Amino acid sequence: MAVESSTLVRVEALTKEFYLDGETIRVLKAIDLEVAAGERLAICGESGAGKSTLLQIMGTLDKPTGGRVLHGGQDVFRWSVDRLAAWRNAHIGFVFQFHHLLPEFTALENVMIPAMIQGAGRKSAGERARRILERVGLENRLRHKPGELSGGEQQRVALARALVLNPPLILADEPTGNLDLKNSLEVENLLLEFNREFDLALVIVTHSQRLAQRMDKIIYLEDGSVRKVCPQ
Ligand X SMILES: Nc1ncnc2c1ncn2[C@@H]1O[C@H](COP(=O)(O)OP(=O)(O)O)[C@@H](O)[C@H]1O
Binding site for ligand X (CB under 6 A): 18, 20, 25, 27, 45, 47-53
Shortest Cβ distance from residue 217 to ligand X (Å)?
Answer: 18
Closer to ligand X by Cβ: residue 109 or 173: 173
Q: Minimum distance between the CB of residue 192 and ligand X, rounded to whole angstroms?
A: 23
Long-range contact set of residues 61-67: C-beta below 8 Å, sequence gap at least 24: 61/88, 61/94, 62/16, 64/14, 64/15, 64/16, 64/28, 65/15, 65/16, 65/17, 66/13, 66/14, 66/15, 67/11, 67/12, 67/13, 67/14, 67/15, 67/30, 67/31
Nearer to ligand X by Cβ, of 20 and 81: the residue is 20
Q: What is the dihedral of CA 41, 167, 126, 190, to 10 degrees?
A: -20
CB 205 within 8 A of CB 215: no
Contact of residue 132 among ligand X, Mg ion, none (CB under 5-8 Å per partner type): none
| Shortest Cβ 219–ligand X spacing (Å) | 12
Residue 53 interacting partner from Mg ion, ligand X, none (CB closer than 5 to 8 Å by kind): ligand X
SS (H, E, C) 145-171: CHHHCCHHHHHHHHHHHHHCCCCCEEE
Run of H or E residues at 116: helix 107-117
Q: From the list ligand X, Mg ion, none, which binds 18 (C-beta under 5 to 8 Å, kind-based)?
A: ligand X
Q: Which of 100, 112, 202, 104 is nearest to 154 (CA)?
A: 100
Using CB under 5 A as the criterion, which residues of the chain lie in contact with Mg ion when the complex forms? Answer: 52
Cβ of residue 152: shortest distance to ligand X, in angstroms? 23
Pick from ligand X, Mg ion, none: which does 35 bind, CB < 5 to 8 A by kind?
none
Nearer to Mg ion, 45 or 146 (CB): 45
25 binds, among Mg ion, ligand X, none (CB under 5 to 8 A by kind): ligand X
**Is the CB of 18 or the CB of 198 nearer to Mg ion?**
18
Residue nearest to Mg ion (CB): 52
